Structure 1
Amino acid sequence: MEPTIYLFFKGNCLEAMTHYAKTLGGEILDVFRNADAPDPESRMSGGDDMVMNMAMKLGSATVMASDNTEEMYDKPQGFRISIAPTSREEFDRIHDALAKDAESIEMAPDETFWAERFAMFTDRYGTPWMLNFEGNKGSA
């Protein structure tokens, strides 16, 4: 059994998940929009383009997501999606793409006692991230 990350967005789910797939090398598996519902009663409030559910394959994990209306959306808290790039160059590329126009930067990229490069931020879509490149500080 593996956990599945499920993200919620305020009407920009498709944009965010497409950006994540491009940046992280993921693959969008399917997108189910409001307009795809069999009848009006099965739709969530909002327009036809609202994403009811979508899935992205990222390595061996599946990341799922959907849009929420303003009334139903809660800002994510108490967790971060942690990514471990395999090189300093990959760390910088991923950080630059995900942290562009970030909502907040809790820790700018820097060296720590456990990693050559570490950063924490919340991206422009409201998703909290943590990037960690151990480099030569990783366990052997």
Structure 2
Amino acid sequence: MEPMIYLFFKGNCLEAMTRYADILGGEIGGVFRNGDAPDPESRMPGGDDMVMNMAMKLGGATLMASDSSTEMYERPQGFRITLSPPSRAEFDRIYGALAENAQVVEMAPEETFWAERFAMFTDRYGTPWMLNFEGNKAQN
């Protein structure tokens, strides 16, 4: 059994998840929209294009997501999606792409006592991220 991350978006789920797949090399699986529901009772509030459920494979993990109506959407808090890029160059590439037009940069990329490069930010879609490249500071 492995934990799975499930993200909620404010009407831009497909855009966000497609962008994440492009940046991180993920693969989008099934996308089920409101309009795919068999009857009106099975739909969530909102238009036919709203994503009810979708998945993205990223390495051995699955990231799932859906849209929420404006009334039901809550800002994510209390967690961050954490990535450990394999190189400083990959860290910089991923940070540059995910942090573009970020809502908040809580900690810009910098060296810490545990990592050559570390950053925390909330991207344009409201997803909280943490990037960590240990480099030469890796514990063996």
Counterpart of 1:67 in structure 2 is 67
Number of residue pairs matched?
140
Distance 2:3 2:52 in 1: 20
Distance 2:114 2:85 in 1: 14
Counterpart of 2:137 in structure 1 is 137
CA RMSD of aligned residues (A): 0.4
By how many angstroms is 1:139 displaced? 1.2
Counterpart of 1:97 in structure 2 is 97
Deviations 1:37-89 (A, max 9, x none): 00111111111100000000011000000000011000000100000000000
Counterpart of 1:4 in structure 2 is 4
TM-score, structure 2 normalization:
0.99
Counterpart of 2:109 in structure 1 is 109
- Residue 58 of structure 2 is aligned to residue 58 of structure 1: yes
Residue ranges of structure 2 left out of the alignment (5+ in a row): none
1:72 maps to a residue whose letter is M
Residue ranges of structure 1 left out of the alignment (5+ in a row): none
TM-score, structure 1 normalization:
0.99
Distance 1:22 1:122 in 2: 18
SS at match of 2:32: strand
By how many angstroms is 1:97 displaced? 0.5
Counterpart of 2:83 in structure 1 is 83
* Aligned structure 1 segments of 4 or more residues deviating by more than 3 angstroms: none
More deviation in 114-123 or 38-47? 38-47
Deviations 1:77-126 (A, max 9, x none): 01000000000000000000000000000000000000000000000000
Distance 1:41 1:82 in 2: 37
Distance 2:78 2:40 in 1: 35
Distance 1:86 1:102 in 2: 23
- Residue 45 of structure 2 is aligned to residue 21 of structure 1: no
